[in-house]
Structure 1
């Protein structure tokens, strides 16, 4: 029997593993639905919305704020990541600098990709948001890995009166128990060792407050 000129099974397997690795190294914005599938062509590295321009597939989102569901799927070998949830106002937002949910850290049970999903209930609008029913905006979610690489996804929305929003599908708002969350906050310290200041009193230090559960936000 002559040897096939096609790719060997080892090459096929390597390609499949590389594809799986790529998929698990990124995340999905489930609700509101993302602009498009940014897993394709490794697009999530592109600021501000994974390389996807504004779309017409807008979700009706309540004026008082609403639910957000995310499938985190981390980079294998990076057992924690930071998440930012921001908003940009207008049909084509000039920026995404309005904070909806302060930065938080997610940690997993191992160095494998994140399993499951998490859901934030009633995420409020940014402070001092001035909007009315019919206005457009964009929700941006950023995932930052331990090594500093950032991934981006966005969902375009239209504000509506509470009760008129597009409901999240049943069973989507799930908080998996296989990972945990930490609140990130800043503090000041003037601690010293002998006559030497360990931290200047004006130095801002980022600290993790462990044990924060999503249930506290629900």
Structure 2
């Protein structure tokens, strides 16, 4: 019984410490595991080298270390955003059942973002919640109608819900937090 309990706790803590890494567009800086819960993964300044990103037919790709997760994308045209308040949500929250490589179509012209223009500098912030809390990464972009992301790999690991576009909408981030907390409570009760 103690072996089972120890194994269960180890598995739960492995889930709790899992993360994600934004692949494209490239994030502001190198992945820093301990900074993910912070604004823009702890990178408070805009990258000096913004990525050219199309207004139409863009993609977002990431690596998920969670088998199920919820996410949303936010945007700002503030030249040097310093807080969450600078951002506006431009996708509904969506849920995916995929661990590993994930890629989705991200057509800015099809989001609720308004007034975006060719040559404009923007920052997107990707919110990711795999059940262990909200994690954030930012990418600094220059919108370019001639930018072509077809050279970027857009593949998904095996998934039951992913179709290459934004996945299943969900009402809010954090619904998995209660499940994880409940499982941890049960495991401790077994000790």
TM-score in same-fold range (> 0.5): yes
Superposition TM-score tier, normalisation by shorter sequence? 0.5 to 0.7
1:24-173 alignment runs, 5 A limit: 25-38=18-31, 40=32, 42-47=34-39, 49-52=40-43, 53-64=45-56, 66-74=58-66, 79-93=67-81, 95-108=85-98, 114=99, 116-125=100-109, 126-147=111-132, 149-161=133-145, 164-165=146-147, 167=149, 169-170=151-152, 172-173=153-154
Answer 1 or 2: which has greater strand percent: 1
CA distance in 2 between counterparts of 1:128 and 1:84 reads 13
Query: For this pair of structures, how many residues does the alignment match?
Result: 151
Q: How high is the TM-score relative to the length of structure 2?
A: 0.67
Q: Of the candidates 155, 158, 164, which is equivalent to residue 177 of structure 1? A: 158
CA distance in 2 between counterparts of 1:140 and 1:103 reads 13
Give the 4+ runs in structure 1 shifted more than 4 A. none
Compare 65-74 and 151-160 and name the one that shifted more. Answer: 65-74
Answer 1 or 2: which has greater helix percent: 2
Deviation at 1:141, TM superposition (A): 0.6
- The higher-RCO structure (CA 8 Å, 6+ apart) is 2
The higher radius of gyration belongs to 1
Unaligned residue ranges in structure 2 (runs of 5+): 1-13, 176-191
Unaligned residue ranges in structure 1 (runs of 5+): 1-20, 109-113, 187-205, 207-218
